[in-house]
Amino acid sequence: MSNPLNRLEGFKLDVLKEVGNIGAGNAATALSRLLDKPVDMKVPSVNIMPFEQIADKVGGFEQVVAAIYMRVEGEAPGNMFFLIQQEAVKKLLGSLLAADAGERIPYTEMENSALAEIGNILGGSYLSSLADFTRLAMLPTVPATAVDMAGAILSYGLVQSGEMGDSALLIDTTFLEGRESFAGHFFFIPDPESFDTIFNALGVASE
């Protein structure tokens, strides 16, 4: 199978950007309801990138991050991660729970629950958008949260699924809540056979 990076050009990448835009809008609406205050999101950056470059986006394999992990089941299975750095976690949890939330690791049970719900909203919004565009059945499992080095978290996903594809869909997201802003990185890493399924559904023929 040829590398999907070589096949995704022009309007084909624009389709995935539109997936990101719609998903971001849905996520902002849902997050506003959860926080009970207005939340906006900048237009997200959407790219397809090699798997080995994922950790670089959050500061390298040894960078400690908070992560929400979900396995995607259905017609295009894969692994879904939402990775955020500690400062962003403090802002998110501080808005949702209390001024000093997210200050200590490990997080409390309530903080982990809130983080999982945030990840569920964000991951679900992007996944629903992708499923709508492709008309494929794609369902997330119950989210799991972790705070660890990015390399360890990505390895956990690999162990859970047995194998991963060599490319990932990356959506860089920036939330705006009042004067605060916080960034996160959403990755969908399809299983090896799933990339062709998604591309074919988007009208991108396999080579």
Burial per residue of 98-122, b for 16 or more beta-carbon CB atoms within 10 angstroms, e otherwise:
eeebbeeeebeeebbebbbbbbbbb
- Categorize the per-residue pLDDT at 161 as very low, low, confident or very high, splitting at 50, 70 and 90: low
**pTM, rounded to two decimals:** 0.79
pLDDT in the model for residue 162: 56
Domain ranges of the chain: 4-201
Instruction: List pLDDT tens digits, range 88-134.
Output: 787 777 777 766 666 677 778 888 888 888 888 888 888 888 898 88
Percent with pLDDT over 90 in the chain: 5
CATH label, 4-201, candidates 3.40.1550.10, 3.20.20.150, 3.40.50.300, 3.30.930.10: 3.40.1550.10
- Per DSSP (E only), the strands in 56-196 are 64-74, 78-84, 138-140, 144-149, 167-177, 180-190
**What sign results for the dihedral spanned by CA atoms 164, 133, 125, 26?**
positive
pLDDT in the model for residue 74: 94
Q: Which two tokens stand for residue 102?
A: 């997210």
